[in-house]
Structure 1
Amino acid sequence: MPETPTRSQRSPLVLDHGQAPPLTSEPRRPAHPLLRRKPVEQLVAEGGQGEGGALKRSLTMWQLTTISIGATLGTGIFVVLGEATPIAGPAVFLAFVIAGLTALFSALSYAELAGSIPVSGSSYSYAYATMGELVAWVCGWCLVLEYGVSVAAVAVGWGQYLNELLDGTLGITIPEGFSAPLGEGGYVNLPALVVVLLCMVFLLRGAKESARVNSIMVGVKIVTLVLFCVIGFMGVKAGNYTPLAPLGVTAISTAASMLFFSYIGFDAASTAGEEAKNPKKDLPRAIMLSLGIVTALYCLVALVAVGAMPWQEFEGSEAALAKIMENVTGHAFWSVVLAAGAVVAIASVVFAVLYGQTRILFAMSRDGLMPKAFAKVDPKTGTPRVNTIIVCLFCGILAATIPLGELANATSIGTLFAFGLVNIAVVILRHTRPEMNRTFKVMLFPVTPILGFLCCAYLMTELPGITWAVFGGWMAVGLVLYFFYGMRRSSLATAAAPAPTAEGAAEKK
C-alpha cells in the first residue's frame, strides 16, 4: 500500500480548499522540455509580481469592460461597414449577427479561462497551463503580431480621420509628406506617431488612471454612434430594405467573414487579470458584457445605415456614416461631429491595444521567454514602465514609417490562431483539472469550444495566400528566437536545473 505524502512533501502552491490534487516534491516531467507546462496554481501565485515591484489591483468590472470595448469598437464600424454592405446588401446587419455569434464561441472559452486563470498573459498563459511551453510561445508570438501590427494599422487610420476633421473645422489638412509614410507619397506619418506617443503618456501614469481615460473615450464613441442612430433614423426608408438579400445568402456569409475582424479585441480584458480587483468574477462578466454591447451597437448602426441610404451607394464610400449624416440633415456640421467621434474612437483602440500588448509581454518576460526588462515594474505607478516605452516607440515608428499594406492582414490570422488555441485549452483543462473552481463555465460543453475552433479554422482558410506567407515568416522568426533564447532562459528550465553541490564546487576549484 503506497505511503500517504506528508504535509511537508506537498507543494506550497496547492490551494487550501483541496480542489487541486497535491503536487509531490518530485513532479512527473514530460518527455521533452518543449512540452513542459506551468501549473495553474503557480501561474496564479506569480500573478502581479514583476522585477522590482508588483502590478496594482485597481480595476473594476466596468473598467475592464471598457478596456475590451475600447479595443474592439473602432475602425470596424467606421470603415468596414462601407466595404461589407455592397457584398451583403441590406442584410449586412444579419452579417454582423453571424460574425458576433462566431466570436461568441471563442468569447465563452475566454470567459471560462479568464475566471480560472486570472493572469496577464491571456491566451498565452492559458496555453502554457494546458499545452506546454512551445505552444504557449507560438500563441504569445501570435499575440505580439496581432497587437503590435494592429496598433500601427489603427494609428494610420487615425491620421486619416484627423485630416478630415481638420479640413471640416479649420479648412486645413496636414501635408501629404507628413501624413503618409515612404512608398505612399510621403516621408513620415506624423499623426500616427503622435497618437501612439499620447497613449504612451497616459499608460505610464498607472492602470487606474489609464482606465479612467479609456472609459471617457469609450463613452464618447458610444454617444457618437447612438447620435448617428438617432439622426439617421429620421432618414430611414422602408424601400431600402427590399430585397433584403439581393445577392443571396452566400453573400451574407462572405460579408460575415469580413466583419468578424470587427470583433477582434473583445479579449483585451483578459490581459488585465493581474490588475483587476476581483478577477475571477469580473473578467468573465467584462468579456461577455463587452461583446454584447459591441454586437448590439454594430447591428443597430448597420440597420439604420442601410435604411437611410441605398446599399448600392456604399460602394467605395469609406466615410459612409458621415455621408449619411450629411444627407439626412443637409448640413456638413454633423459629418464633422462624426469625424470627431471617429478620432476619439480610433484613439481609444490604439490605447487599449497598447495596454494589452504590454501586459502580454510582461507575462512572457516573467516566465523567462522575453528579456527581463519587459517585466520590470515601476514601484511608484505600479506599471511596467520600460516595457510600455519600448512597445510604444516600436509601434509608433512602425506606424510612422512603414506602409503596412497586406502586413495588416496578418493581425487577423494571428488572432484567429490564438482564438483557436483558447478553445482547445478549455477542453484540455476540463479533462485534466475537472475539480478546479470555475466562476464561469462554457455552456453546451464540449460542443461550444469545438464549434469555436472550427469557425476559427474556417476563417483562417479564407485568408489570402500572401497573409499565410507573412504569417509563416513571422512564425519562423519566432521559433528561432525561442530555440536560441527563450527555451534556455525559461523559468521552468532554470527551476529544473540541478543545483550545484558542495562536492561539485570543490572539484571546480
Structure 2
Amino acid sequence: MEEASLSTTTLKRSLTTKDLAIYGIIFMIPVAPVAFYGSFLQPANGMVALAYLIGMVAMLFTGFSYASMSRRYPYSGSVYTYVQQGTNAGLGFIGGWGICLDYLLIPTITYLISASFGHELIPSIPTWAWIVVVAVFNTVVNLAGVNFVSKFSWALFALQAIVLLIFIGATLRLLFLGQIHPNLVAFYNPSHFNINGVLQATGIVIVSYLGFDAISTLAEEAQDPRGAVGKAIIIAILGIGTLFVVTTFLAGWAVPQYQNLNVDTAFSQIINRVGGPVLVRLTDIVVILSFGFAGGQEGQTAISRILYAMGRDGILPKRLSYVHPKYKTPWVAIILVGIISLVLSLTLDQNTVSNLVSFGALFGFLLLNLSVIWKFYLKGEKTVLGTLKYLVSPLIGFSVSLWIFLSLDNLAKIVGLVWLVVGFAILLFNTRFFTKSAPHLEL
C-alpha cells in the first residue's frame, strides 16, 4: 500500500439530509425498548418513559452543540474533530478516544441481543453462529460502501415502523375496548419514585440516543455537510426520542404492574398482552434484523470513520486512514472494527456490556458542550442570540449530561477511567510527553 493511496483517495459524498437522519434513527434502533425495557424497569421503578424523556432532553441540547460545530467544521471524526478544533488537539483526542469505547461496544451489544433473540427463535442455531454470521455480513456490507448501508437502513426502518405502528394500534384498540386504562406509571409513580434510580436507567438509555453522534461521523460523505448534518441530528433526536417515550408510555398502560414482568422478557410479555403470539414472533424477527444487521452495521460504520480521522491526523496508525480507491471506504478501519467486535461478542455477556456503555459518549458530550462555550461564546459572539446558542444551550446540555454521567454504574466508571488512562498514554507517546504538539487536522 503506497503512502499516496492513504492521502489522495477521499470518501464518497452521496448522502442527503434524509439519508443522514434515517441513518441516525436506525442506529438508535426504534424497537430498542423491546430488548432493553426489562433492564430499565427495576432501577427506574417502572418509570421508563421518564428515563427516555430525560435522555432526549439531555441529547437535544447537546445536539444543538453538534449542529453548531458541524456548520463550522464539516469533517468526519465526531467529538474527536469538534473538540480538537474547538479547543486543542490533545483534548480532542481524549474526547474522541473516550467515545470510541462506546462505539466499540455498540456492535458488541447489538450482536449479543440479536443472537439471543435468534437462538430463542431457532434453538438449533447456537448464539456464537448467529454472531459470526452477522459480524461477517456487516463487515462485507460496510466495505462495499456507505450508499449500500444507507439503502439497507431504509428497508429496516420500514420494518421497524410497521411493528411499532401495529403495537400502538393494538394498544389503543384495547383502550377503546376498556380492557386497559390510561395511567402515568411510566412517567411518575409516587409510591416508588426514586430520581437516582431513574437517572441510573437514563445512563443506560443514553446508548439508545448515541446514533445522533454517528450522523456527524459521516460529514465527509454528505452532499451538504454544513447544513445537512446539523438538521439531521436534531430531526433524529426528536424523532427517535418521541417514539421511545410514546412506546414505553403505552407499555405502562398495557401492564402497569411492572413488578409482575420478567426482566428478561418484559416487553415480549407486553406485546403478547396487546397483540398475541403472532405479533411477538414478528417483533422477534424484526429485533434480530434491527439489532444485528442495522444497529451493528451502522455502529461499525461510525467507529471506522472516527478511526479513519484519527489515522489521517497521525495520532493513531496512518494505515487506519487507507480508503479503498474503488469503494471509497476506510477498509483497514472497517476490518479492524469487525474483528474487535467479533472477539468481544464471543467473550462478553450482554449484562456486562450494557453496564459499560454510555461512559465514553457522556464524557465526549461534556467536552463538546464546553468546547462550544469556549470557541463560540468566550472567544466569539456575546450577543443575546449568541448567549442563548453558545452559552445557555450548551450549559444545559453539559449539566444534564453530567447529572447522568455521575449516576452511571461503578463498573462503567472504572472501565471508562482505565480506557481514558490508555488514551492519555497514547497522547503522551505521540507528543513525547507534551514536548511537541499532538497531531491534528490542518484546515
Q: TM-score range by the shorter chain?
A: 0.7 to 0.9
Structure with greater Cα Rg: 1
1:464 aligns with 2:415: no
Q: How far apart in 2 are the matches of 1:487 and 1:457? A: 32
Give the Cα separation in 1 of the matches to 2:397 and 2:171: 35
Partner AA of 2:133 in structure 1: V
**Structure 2 match to 1:8:** none
- 1:342-394 deviation line (CA, Å, top 9, x unaligned): 11221211111111100000111111011111101111111111221111112
* Alpha-carbon distance in 2 for matches of 1:323, 1:109: 39
Q: d(CA) in 2 for partners of 1:226 and 1:125? A: 38
Q: Is the 8 A contact 1:112 1:441 kept in 2?
A: no
- Counterpart of 1:164 in structure 2 is 120
User: Which of the pair is proportionally richer in helix?
Assistant: 2
Q: CA deviation at 1:150?
A: 2.2
Normalising to structure 2: TM-score of the pair? 0.87
Deviation of the 1:82 alpha carbon: 2.5
In the TM superposition, 1:27-426 aligns within 5 A as 50-73=6-29, 76-86=32-42, 88=44, 91-166=47-122, 172-175=123-126, 179=127, 189-236=128-175, 237=179, 239=181, 241=183, 245-248=188-191, 250-251=193-194, 254-259=197-202, 260-261=205-206, 262-313=208-259, 315-329=261-275, 331-347=276-292, 348-403=294-349, 405-426=351-372
Amino acid across the alignment from 1:391: V
Change (3 A) 1:493 1:69: closer
CA–CA separation in structure 2 for the residues paired with 1:90 and 1:405: 19
State the number of aligned residues: 426
* TM-score with structure 1 setting the length: 0.77
The runs of 5 or more residues in structure 1 that have no matched partner are: 1-48, 167-171, 180-188, 496-509
Counterpart of 2:119 in 1: which secondary structure? helix
Of 56-65 and 222-231, deviating more is 222-231
Q: Which amino acid aligns with 1:241?
A: N
C-alpha distance in structure 1 between counterparts of 2:173 and 2:431, whole Å: 58
* Counterpart residue identity of residue 467, structure 1: A
In 2, Cα distance between equivalents of 1:214 and 1:462: 33
Is the Cα–Cα contact under 8 Å of residues 257 and 459 in structure 1 kept in the other structure? Answer: yes
**Amino acid across the alignment from 2:166:** L
Measured after TM superposition, the shift of residue 434 of structure 1 is: 3.2
Q: Please identify, of 335-344 and 130-139, the stretch whose mean Cα deviation from structure 2 is larger.
A: 130-139
In structure 2, the CA distance between the partners of 1:242 and 1:270, relative to structure 1 (3 Å rule), is closer
In structure 1, C-alpha distance between the alignment counterparts of 2:286 and 2:391, rounded to whole Å: 41
What is the CA–CA distance in structure 2 between the aligned matches of 1:481 and 1:316, rounded to whole Å?
44
Letter in 2 for 1:341: V
Alignment correspondent of 1:39: none
Give me the identity figure in percent.
24
**Cα deviation digits, residues 53-100 of structure 1 (max 9, x gap):** 111111111111112112212574123323334555665433322221
| 1:448-479, Cα deviation, whole Å (9 max, x unpaired) | 21121122222121123332221222122222
CA shift in 2, pair 1:245/1:455, >3 Å: closer
Tell me how far apart the structure 1 counterparts of residues 159 and 130 of structure 2 sit (CA, whole Å). Answer: 20
Alignment match, 2:426? 481
